[in-house]
Amino acid sequence: MTDPYAFETLAIHAGQSADPSTGAVMPPVYLTSTYKQDAVGKTRGYEYSRTGNPTRHALENCLAALEDGKQGLAFASGMAAADAVLHLLSQGDHVLAAHDLYGGTYRIFRTVFERLGVSFTFADASDTARFLEQIGDNTRLVWLETPTNPLLDLCDLAAIAEGAHSHPSQPLVCVDNTFATPYLQQPLALGADISLHSTTKYLGGHSDVVGGALVMRDEDLAQRLAFVQNAVGAIPGPLDCFLVLRGIKTLPIRMDRHSANASRLAEHLAADDRVRRVRYPGLPSHSQHELAQRQMRLPGGMISFEVAAGEATARRLVESTQLFTLAESLGGVESLIELPAPMTHASVAGSPLEVDPSLVRLSVGLEAADDLIQDLDQALHNAHQS
């Protein structure tokens, strides 16, 4: 089941059908490490669960349908998925990466793969022409994130993918699509080779599972990554796959509401003098608002802004909310607030990617928007008292 169905239908049905032996509507959680062979080498499609598991396959097939790709691969975490992509590289290879990235991605680049002889250049991907100029003879991979974490900058996926693929070095283009989700943005349709997810975030959607995924449109590339998945072995367990599959069923309606709530909060914050530079792709004041409208179905549920009075006030703000929980991560039904500089982005401290210590990041949940606005107002008031 693929082409004739809309995203909302695929989110519920793709990769899944009623269990033939019992009629169970949800794919069973196949808690098994191995599978009986009917004769030596005669399997029923599965031999060992690192290589393949039916619950994981249901998730992988669902993800492939949602991204309109050939194959999906599920991993134990978003970082395990990133690690698998980086395992395609060899000593001497070069990676061109956007300069505003998830902190853990920056960390694995600099502390693990640089040591193994892979070199990295970080450049502003929102300036397409200047970014593409950084592609060299040995550039094998272009790494993009849009919208970025935590600055909510965008890059033009279609233009960068086209530019990268027309360069003689033919780098692969990998897009971290975690913030947007396949519902809001389709990197493969825009020309990327790999769409990467931390399924921990919106795809799982309920802050109860850690996972990652890759989706590819080229079969040969998918095979190479499936080889890494099996050889390295950073696979998710079947229960984790089940939780992500369940989360995905409500992804479209959740993203609609995340976006509607975030739009209201962003407008409210933008009108508050105590807040500086509200970063939200849905605001007309966002420098890439037009690109957001072209590239994304909706602006999403993430907002960041600076507190005008500075770091200490920002700290008091994130410690004063009652409904927003002070926590890392994002994409769950509940609203979260954090300070990227000492929390999610501590690993980029002292680097060119360092973020302003007064920057606050919101993951806007599915609570009533009025309650969320009231909570931010009381926390802003409280933070400015001392």
Ligand X SMILES: *Cc1c(COP(=O)(O)O)cnc(C)c1O
Residues that bind ligand X (CB under 6 A): 77-79, 102, 104-105, 145, 149, 176, 178-179, 198, 200-201, 210, 212
Least distance (Å) between residue 60 CB and ligand X: 16
**188-193-196 Cα angle (round to 5):** 75
Distance CA 290, CA 341 (A): 28
Beta-bridge mates of residue 259: none
Length of the chain, please? 386
- Cβ pair 378, 269 in contact under 8 A: no
Q: Which two tokens stand for residue 6?
A: 């809309």
The residue annotated as part of the active site, out of 83, 183, 201, 375, is 201
Distance CA 63, CA 81 (A): 14
Annotation says 176 is catalytic: yes
- Cβ pair 157, 192 in contact under 8 A: yes
Q: Are strands 336-338 and 71-75 parallel, antiparallel or unpaired?
A: unpaired
Closer CB to ligand X, 19 or 208, in the complex: 208
Closer CB to ligand X, 53 or 207, in the complex: 207
Closer CB to ligand X, 99 or 316, in the complex: 99
The residue annotated as part of the active site, out of 102, 106, 202, 280, is 102
Least distance (Å) between residue 272 CB and ligand X: 26
Least distance (Å) between residue 79 CB and ligand X: 4
Closer CB to ligand X, 359 or 383, in the complex: 359
Residue type, 345: H
Closer CB to ligand X, 102 or 316, in the complex: 102
Least distance (Å) between residue 178 CB and ligand X: 4
Least distance (Å) between residue 330 CB and ligand X: 6
**62-64-67 Cα angle (round to 5):** 110
Annotation says 201 is catalytic: yes
Q: Which two tokens stand for residue 302?
A: 């993430």
Distance CA 234, CA 41 (A): 25
- Cβ pair 73, 214 in contact under 8 A: yes
The residue annotated as part of the active site, out of 5, 46, 50, 276, is 50
Q: Which two tokens stand for residue 195?
A: 């769409």
Annotation says 279 is catalytic: no
Least distance (Å) between residue 185 CB and ligand X: 13
Annotation says 102 is catalytic: yes
Which string of DSSP letters, residue by residue, matches 161-184? HHHHHTSTT--EEEEE-TTTHHHH
The residue annotated as part of the active site, out of 100, 153, 176, 356, is 176
Closest CA to 16 of 33, 32, 29, 31: 29
Closer CB to ligand X, 211 or 320, in the complex: 211
CA distances from 149 to 275, 304, 333, 359 (A): 19, 9, 19, 12
Distance CA 179, CA 150 (A): 10
Distance CA 178, CA 197 (A): 5
Least distance (Å) between residue 78 CB and ligand X: 2
Least distance (Å) between residue 234 CB and ligand X: 10
Distance CA 203, CA 179 (A): 10
Closer CB to ligand X, 67 or 145, in the complex: 145
Closer CB to ligand X, 15 or 78, in the complex: 78
**103-161-363 Cα angle (round to 5):** 35
Q: Which residues are catalytically annotated? A: 50, 102, 176, 201
